[in-house]
C-alpha cells in the first residue's frame, strides 16, 4: 500500500493516472466498503480511501484506530490503494491529489437524496471532480457501520460482515 508522503506525485500523474477518492466515516470499515474499494480498482488506477468528517456523527473509534483498521484490510503490496484523512473540504482535497472522481456506494433508495445533495454541492465547489456511484454489493446492502456497532454492542454475531481484525476491535471496545 502506498505511504502518505506529499501531494505532489499524484498531481504529476494526473494525465496518465485515473485517481479516485473514496470518502467516508469508516467507523468502522465494513465488507460493504471493501467491496466498493475492490470494484473501484477495476475502474481507477489509484484509490485513495479517505476518512472525512461528518459533523452529524460522533465516532466510536479514534481517527488513528480507523486509519489502522482500513490499512489492515489490504495487503502492503497493494500500491494502488492509499489510506488517508481530510480535515477540510473533500473536493479541495480530491482536486489537490489529482483525483478526477469521488466514489460513493449506494445501498438503497434511502441513500439517494443525501448522496444527490452531497454530489451536487461538491460539483458546485469543484467542477473538475465528478462523483461516481457504485451500487453496493447485494450481500452488503443491509449493513451499515451503525448497525454493526449496535449488534456488536449487544454481543451479537457480526462475523463475515467486517474483517476479523475489525471484529476483534469491536469486541474489545465493548468489553472494556
Residues 51-65 as b/e (b if ≥16 CB within 10 A, e otherwise) read bbeeeeeebbbeeee
Residue length of the chain: 176
Which of 19, 30, 69, 131 is close enough to bind ligand COA by CB under 6 A?
Answer: 30
C-alpha triplet 153, 35, 92: angle, nearest 5°: 95
Instruction: Name the one range near ligand COA by CB under 6 A: 10-18, 24-32, 37-45, 64-72.
Output: 24-32
Q: Is 1 in the site for ligand COA (CB under 6 A)?
A: no
Rounded to an integer, what distance in angstroms lies between the CA atom of residue 80 and that of residue 82? 7
Which of 19, 21, 37, 52 is close enough to bind ligand COA by CB under 6 A?
Answer: 52
Which SS3 state, helix, strand or coil, does residue 131 take? strand
Cβ 90 to ligand COA shortest distance, Å: 4
Instruction: Mark whether 145 is an active-site residue.
Output: yes
Cβ 131 to ligand COA shortest distance, Å: 10
Spatial contact of 63 and 56, defined as CB atoms under 8 Å apart: no
Spatial contact of 30 and 145, defined as CB atoms under 8 Å apart: yes
Instruction: Mark whether 107 is an active-site residue.
Output: yes
Instruction: Name the one range near ligand COA by CB under 6 A: 1-9, 18-26, 37-45, 61-69.
Output: 18-26
Which SS3 state, helix, strand or coil, does residue 84 take? strand
Which of 94, 140, 166, 170 is close enough to bind ligand COA by CB under 6 A?
Answer: 140
Name 141's Cβ contacts closer than 8 Å, sequence gap at least 6: 32, 107, 108
Question: 40, 97, 104, 145: which one is catalytic?
Answer: 145
Q: Is 24 in the site for ligand COA (CB under 6 A)?
A: yes
Q: Is 163 in the site for ligand COA (CB under 6 A)?
A: no
Contact footprint for ligand COA (CB under 6 A): 23-25, 27, 30, 32-33, 36, 52-54, 57, 89-90, 105, 107, 118, 121-122, 136, 140, 143-146
The catalytic residue positions are: 33, 57, 107, 145
Amino acid at each position: 500500500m502506498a505511504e502518505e508522503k506529499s501531494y505532489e506525485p499524484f498531481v504529476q500523474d494526473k494525465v496518465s493516472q485515473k485517481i479516485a477518492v473514496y470518502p467516508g466515516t469508516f467507523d468502522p470499515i465494513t465488507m460493504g466498503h471493501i467491496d466498493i474499494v475492490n470494484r473501484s480498482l477495476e475502474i481507477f488506477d489509484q484509490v485513495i480511501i479517505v476518512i472525512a468528517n461528518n459533523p452529524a456523527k460522533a465516532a466510536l473509534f479514534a481517527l488513528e484506530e480507523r486509519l489502522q483498521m482500513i490499512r489492515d484490510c489490504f495487503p502492503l503490496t497493494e500500491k494502488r490503494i492509499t489510506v488517508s484523512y481530510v480535515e477540510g473540504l473533500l473536493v479541495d482535497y480530491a482536486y489537490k491529489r489529482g483525483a478526477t472522481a469521488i466514489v460513493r456506494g449506494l445501498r438503497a433508495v434511502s441513500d439517494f437524496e443525501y448522496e444527490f445533495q452531497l454530489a451536487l454541492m461538491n460539483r458546485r465547489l469543484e467542477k473538475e471532480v465528478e462523483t461516481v456511484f457504485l451500487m453496493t454489493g447485494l450481500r452488503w446492502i443491509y449493513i451499515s457501520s451503525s448497525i454493526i456497532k449496535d449488534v456488536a454492542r449487544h454481543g451479537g454475531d457480526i462475523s463475515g460482515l467486517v474483517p476479523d481484525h475489525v471484529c476483534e476491535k469491536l469486541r474489545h471496545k465493548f468489553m472494556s
